[in-house]
């Protein structure tokens, strides 16, 4: 009788293309664990071609980045909130994002992070890998540099990642300033290179509307007095590093009910798009959104992608459309999403889904990016001489974040303590034979990821949950106390009865054994 093949042999006997088809559909977290299964799987997952195939299968999700800031006298650190396939926000902080980082761009699962120190950081949020690059310019004053002067993108034609720095001109303090030099760094190279622009471009537009990466090029807005938009799009091809000015479609914005439009540049379905938002004159609230997508780059032809009545909501920036949903904010505390029902429609407030409550943070400190979890590796680029290690003490170890760390640790400790108290109360209730209702969830296991802090959204939610939990403890305690009192009363009665029985028994023992009574004989008449 032939022996049955073992499970290991059956897996190894599968064709490699079948294994790849299965693995390419798994999330990054599972793939990182699958690497230790066998050498074959590790080789497949590490293959750059597999990485790109996995990227093509990945679904982009929103990444909301909140930069550090102060609200009501309280300092908040920089943090990222990522949304999963079910549009649920993450609860843990991302270790590679430090409290003083600013996000410049997101591309293929990599992010470009800026800080006040002398380096720029490229990081993969899913794998935790990161590297620091020396900045191209050493500024005398930190105010002369800004995170919005940097961007990051990918060229499919050359398979290269590039960092861009818009070098401010001498007149940068006047009307927003301009720039005529773009400093470019290709990951893996030894130095930055200067690329001159064909004309001076608006630094103010870059700072206000941002930069997006689509179809192998970087796009941003600049001033154009000849256009009805008073803006034009600049295209910077990452393959040959050539610039091109793209005119926007002729549109008349002269509507007496609406004010002058605000412009945004974004990316929708891998194509560069431009949005015009007009507020109502009578209320000042955002009311109308028109989105055009570049249909043909050579012919510079645009198509109207969406025409939406926004009511009192505002779009996020730079990205606000994710697949079949549009993400917006209320201006105060809420971030919402709504289905893109058609090319032209009105936002139905009854169908809004609230994604996040960002109070008390300021919406001006928030950016919205397209993000995918990827396996893109950075180790091949770390040998370049420009890659360096920051020398200064930084991150959560700085004294200014001690109070924030203490508060976070306190919330986590209270959560664990509260859950322990709940467990003991349930045990007491079972002993008393009564039922109580307590549903404080168990805190996550810190042994799996001790460096994963609660992010500020989850920290606030947990604090509110603990407050509500403490307020709800009175009724269960009353039930347990009443049952305990009843049990104590019953026990007291039983003790008294036992004592009484014992006392009687003692009295009988002192009197000695009782004599048996003699039976009387029946009397006879002859006695």
Average pLDDT of the chain, as a whole number: 85
Of residues 502 and 372, the one with the higher pLDDT is 372
Nearest one of 474, 479, 494, 488 to 433, comparing CA atoms: 479
The stretch 471-498 carries a mean pLDDT of 74
* Residue 180: per-residue pLDDT: 93
Q: Is 349 among the domain residues? A: yes
Is 409:461 a contact under the CB 8 Å cutoff?
no
- pLDDT-above-70 percentage for the chain: 85
Residue 259, judged by CB atoms within 10 A of its CB (0-12, 13-18, 19+), counts as: middle
pLDDT of residue 1: 44
Using CB atoms within 10 Å of the CB of residue 118, give its burial: 0 to 12 exposed, 13 to 18 middle, 19+ buried: middle
Residue 492 maps to a domain: no
Quick one: 160 and 297 in the same domain? yes
Shared domain check, 351 and 385? yes
Say if CB 419 and CB 412 are below 8 A apart: no
Neighbour tally for 289: CB within 10 Å: 23
Do 50 and 20 contact (CB within 8 A), yes or no? yes
Q: What is the pLDDT of residue 526?
A: 45
Residue 351 covered by a domain: yes
Instruction: Using the 3D structure, point to which of 392, 407, 427 is the last residue of a domain.
Output: 392
- The better pLDDT of the pair 449, 199 is held by 199
Residues 171 and 304 occupy one common structural domain: yes
Q: 456-471 and 402-432 helices cross at what angle (nearest 10)? A: 40
- Does 7 score more than 70 pLDDT? no
CA distance 371 to 109: 6
Instruction: Give the three-class secondary structure for 504.
Output: helix
Identify the CATH number of the domain in which residue 117 sits.
2.120.10
Whether residues 294 and 408 fall in one domain: no
> Do 292 and 308 contact (CB within 8 A), yes or no?
no
Judgement on whether residues 372 and 401 belong to the same structural domain of the protein: no
Residue 417 pLDDT > 60: yes
Is 28 within the bounds of a domain?
yes
Based on the fold, state whether residues 285 and 378 are members of the same structural domain.
yes
Q: Do 297 and 382 share a structural domain?
A: yes
Neighbouring-strand partners of residue 369:
63
| 32 and 45 inside one domain | yes
Residue numbers of the domain that contains 26: 16-53
> Is the confidence at residue 155, as pLDDT, over 90?
yes
Looking at the structure, tell me whether residues 125 and 258 fall in a common domain. Answer: yes
Neighbours of 177 (CB within 10 A): 18
Tens-place pLDDT, residues 54-63: 999 988 999 9
Is residue 521 one of the residues assigned to a domain?
no
**450 pLDDT higher than 50:** no
How buried is residue 129: exposed, middle or buried, by Cβ count under 10 Å (0-12/13-18/19+)? middle
Q: Note whether residue 520 is domain-resident.
A: no
In a domain, 522, yes or no: no
Peptide bond into 360 cis (omega under 30): yes
- Whether residue 27 is found in the same domain as residue 83: no
**What pLDDT shows up at residue 81?**
94
**Residues 6 or more apart whose Cβ sits within 8 Å of residue 405:** 396
Same domain, 137 and 98: yes
Same domain assignment for residues 244 and 360: yes
pLDDT (0 to 100) of residue 171: 61
pLDDT-based confidence at 231, cuts 50/70/90?
A: very high
Q: What is the three-class DSSP state of 395?
A: helix
Residue after which a domain boundary falls, among 392, 426, 459: 392
Does the structure show a pLDDT above 80 at 19? Answer: yes
Residue 428 CB neighbour total at 10 angstroms: 17
Average pLDDT over residues 356-368: 89
Is residue 122 domain-resident? yes
Q: What is the mean pLDDT of residues 134-160?
A: 85
Q: Which residue has the higher pLDDT, 261 or 142?
A: 261
Domain count, the chain: 3
């Amino acid at each position: 009788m032939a022996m049955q093949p073992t499970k290991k042999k059956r897996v190894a006997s599968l064709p490699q293309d079948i294994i790849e088809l299965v693995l390419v559909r798994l999330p990054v977290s599972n793939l990182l664990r699958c690497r230790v299964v066998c050498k074959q799987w590790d080789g497949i997952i590490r293959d750059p071609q597999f990485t790109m195939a996995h990227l093509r299968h990945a679904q982009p999700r929103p990444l909301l980045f909140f930069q550090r800031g102060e609200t009501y006298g309280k300092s908040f650190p920089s943090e990222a909130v990522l949304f999963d396939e079910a549009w649920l926000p993450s609860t843990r902080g991302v270790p590679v994002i430090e409290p003083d980082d600013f996000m410049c761009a997101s591309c293929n699962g990599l992010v470009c992070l800026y800080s006040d120190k002398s380096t720029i950081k490229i990081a993969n949020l899913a794998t935790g890998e990161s590297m620091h690059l020396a900045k191209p310019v050493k500024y005398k004053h930190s105010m002369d540099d800004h995170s919005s002067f940097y961007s990051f993108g990918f060229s499919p034609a050359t398979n290269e990642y590039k960092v861009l720095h818009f070098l401010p001109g001498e007149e940068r303090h006047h009307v927003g300033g301009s720039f005529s030099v773009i400093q470019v760094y290709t990951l893996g190279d030894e130095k930055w290179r200067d690329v001159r622009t064909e004309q001076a471009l608006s630094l103010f537009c870059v700072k206000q509307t941002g930069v997006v990466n689509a179809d192998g090029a970087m796009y941003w807005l600049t001033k154009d007095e000849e256009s009805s938009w008073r803006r034009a799009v600049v295209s910077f091809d990452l393959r040959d590093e050539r610039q091109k000015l793209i005119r926007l479609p002729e549109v008349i914005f002269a509507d007496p009910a609406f004010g002058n439009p605000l412009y945004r540049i974004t990316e929708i379905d891998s194509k560069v798009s431009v949005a015009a938002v007009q507020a109502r004159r009578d209320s000042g609230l955002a009311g109308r959104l028109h989105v055009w997508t570049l249909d043909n780059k050579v012919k510079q032809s645009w198509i109207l992608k969406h025409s939406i009545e926004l009511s009192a909501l505002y779009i996020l920036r730079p990205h606000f459309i994710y697949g079949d949903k549009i993400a917006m904010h209320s201006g105060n505390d809420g971030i919402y999403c709504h289905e893109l029902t058609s090319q032209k429609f009105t936002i139905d407030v009854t169908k809004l889904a609230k994604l996040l409550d960002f109070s008390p943070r300021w919406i001006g400190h928030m950016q919205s990016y397209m993000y995918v979890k990827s396996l893109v590796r950075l180790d091949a680029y770390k040998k370049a001489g420009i890659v360096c290690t920051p020398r200064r003490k930084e991150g959560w170890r700085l004294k200014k974040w001690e109070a924030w760390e203490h508060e976070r640790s306190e919330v986590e400790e209270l959560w664990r303590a509260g859950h322990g108290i709940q467990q003991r109360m349930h045990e007491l209730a079972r002993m008393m034979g009564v039922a109580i209702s307590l549903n404080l969830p168990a805190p996550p296991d810190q042994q799996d990821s001790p460096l994963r802090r609660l992010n500020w959204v989850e920290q606030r939610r947990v604090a509110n949950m603990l407050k509500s939990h403490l307020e709800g403890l009175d009724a269960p305690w009353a039930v347990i106390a009443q049952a305990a009192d009843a049990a104590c009363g019953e026990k007291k009665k039983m003790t008294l009865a036992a004592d009484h029985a014992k006392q009687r028994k003692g009295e009988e023992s002192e009197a000695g054994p009782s004599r048996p009574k003699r039976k009387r004989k029946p009397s006879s008449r002859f006695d």
